[in-house]
Structure 1
């Protein structure tokens, strides 16, 4: 079984880890900057009492986070530009952005 786990760990280690928190006020941080070409791993902790869904059309991910749970999504490598992410279950339009720079 460890044969299958080792490649996953090595794969994740090649990515920049971004810690994101969802609060009742929104994402912390709500603006992230990375270098172009970077592969990223976003770990989001849902610090609310509601189910949330971290979603990004630009980075092609969506994942549900139950209250006080931490989820992980992968993205990249990213071209130069601005990418948005949001809580698809939010009634107030909670969103954030990620800027890939040269």
Structure 2
């Protein structure tokens, strides 16, 4: 009688022995880990991006007759804000600001949301690409 036969009870086939956790427990652990990673990723995205843009302070800017009105918008420093730019002119206008790293073309009769900040205290200039001499303004973060 061989050693395998004596341990297996005589005529039984040799069995492979795996030490450690069962396959089912490994699958359970993998599923729990993937759920934890999803939860952590979701929480970190929630901290990076607000759940609703409606929760942000909102400010309005109008493009009309080759100008932006008002020419100055005061916003809170250190806080992300939503700027709604409405084009009441007969042609397109572009909100552009290299200081804010933003540019957006707004078609006539349309509006666009532009998210800004959080900004350090200071003045940030913007202009209209289609009327660069007259469509000028600034955002002041205080």
**What is the TM-score when the length of structure 2 is the normalising length?**
0.61
Aligned residues: 95
Query: What RMSD over aligned residues (CA atoms) do the two structures have, in Å?
Result: 1.9
Question: Which of 83, 95, 102 matches 2:136?
Answer: 95
In the TM superposition, 1:1-102 aligns within 5 A as 10-24=51-65, 26-101=67-142
Shift of 1:12: 1.0
1 or 2, which has the higher strand percentage?
A: 1
**What is the TM-score when the length of structure 1 is the normalising length?**
0.83
Shift of 1:9: 7.4
1 or 2, which has the higher helix percentage?
A: 2
Higher relative contact order at CA 8 Å, sep ≥6: structure 1 or structure 2?
A: 1
Unaligned runs of at least 5 residues, structure 1 = 1-6
- Other structure's SS at 1:74 match: strand
CA distance in 1, matches of 2:103, 2:66: 20
